[in-house]
Amino acid sequence: MNALTKIPPSGAASDELIRVLQNSLYPGAKADSVALVLAWCRSTGRDPMKKPVHIVPMSVKIAGTDRYEWRDVLMPGIGTYRTDAAETGEYVGKSEPEFGPETTREFDGQKVTFPLWCKVTVYRYTHGEARAFPAKEFWIENYALGKGNKGVNAMWSKRCYGQLAKVAESQALRMAFPDETGNSNTAEEMEGKSFAGMTIDAEPQPKPPQPAPAQLRQQTTAEYLGDAIPDAHEPAKRPFGEYLRDKLAASTTPHEVAALRLDPRIQPFLTSGPPDAVARAAALIEARIEALMPPVVEGARPPADEGPELSDSPPTRDEPPAVDDDLSGGM
């Protein structure tokens, strides 16, 4: 009997299963949230008694407003990722987590010691050989805030190594098995975080005609950025350097700067822009993240040369790294 047939239709039997799940795998969860779990398992053919999905309370932004409200959101666990990968018959293991140097920082009066980064490699047998899919994740870009959006929450301060290893493994599994894992983050990655989503308030704009590849290569970098990457919120001809500079200046926390990688204009550029320009833009983003990081606590172990360079000087929150307006020349 497969997992799909184990879930009864709505009615007395379904209500009984909801009560069982509320008192076992999902203690304290609302009946409506557990019903969502059953609907998710029914549509994906999962056994709900194996807890393939988690109920994660999240602060979710209400579309069209600046207000947030708490909602129960369903997210797969890393165990589901591992199961999906194993079921392909092509998953051939993963590396031990590799961690960067430790550093100690102070967040709203709370001292936290954590590894700068973690790297995990997943191996998939494809095209006649085991191919590596490495993923490297930085703690400063992934930690969750504590109560009142201050400090660091208990999980990321007490289990900083374990949490970061799960995030890196989840990313590696998504890279190695994109069809099986989809685009949803795992519960381990999102627990304790807010979710604003990708909301587009502007009216959709028609795409400008794209030049042929040969013609595109002859364009200057500034022309490429202005024409090939339209932006619904900014004039199409606005120099990309000016746009990036304003975004960096408006970002006041490492989280906000890291989120710029998903900006509807910046993300396409980082994915398909000229290689030298992409390298410069990525370096500017990393520099801004470093500038906004809390200062190193005195007496903490100095970091090694690996990972992002750390500074003992206090962060500068007012001035972002300089950005050329037209991003011409080296970019």
Closest C-alpha among 213, 209, 170 to residue 75 = 170
Low-confidence winner among 68-72, 184-188, 200-204, 256-260 (lowest mean pLDDT): 200-204
Give the model's pLDDT for residue 317.
Answer: 46
Are the C-beta atoms of 40 and 53 separated by less than 8 Å?
yes
- Those residues with Cβ within 8 angstroms of residue 192's Cβ, 6 or more apart along the chain or in another chain: 144, 145, 153, 155, 156
Give the model's pLDDT for residue 323.
Answer: 54
DSSP letters for 282-330: HHHHHHHHHHHSPPBPTTSPPP-SSSS---SSPPP-S-PPP--SS--TT
d(CA 47, CA 41): 6
Q: Which residue has the higher pLDDT, 184 or 324?
A: 184
d(CA 83, CA 85): 5
Phi, psi at 227, each rounded to 5°: -100, -40
pLDDT confidence band for 150 (50 / 70 / 90)? confident
Give the model's pLDDT for residue 225.
Answer: 42
Q: What is the pLDDT of residues 3-51, one digit of tens each?
A: 444 566 655 567 888 999 999 999 989 999 999 999 989 888 888 999 9
pLDDT at position 234 over 50: no
> What are residue 145's DSSP bridge partners?
152
Q: What is the pLDDT of residues 83-102, one digit of tens each?
A: 999 999 999 999 999 999 99
pLDDT confidence band for 227 (50 / 70 / 90)? very low
Residue-range domain boundaries for the chain: 1-51, 72-191, 203-331
Closest C-alpha among 216, 115, 105, 90 to residue 168 = 115
Mean pLDDT for 292-305 is 63
d(CA 225, CA 219): 10
Q: What is the pLDDT of residues 192-223, one digit of tens each?
A: 655 544 433 334 445 555 555 444 444 444 44
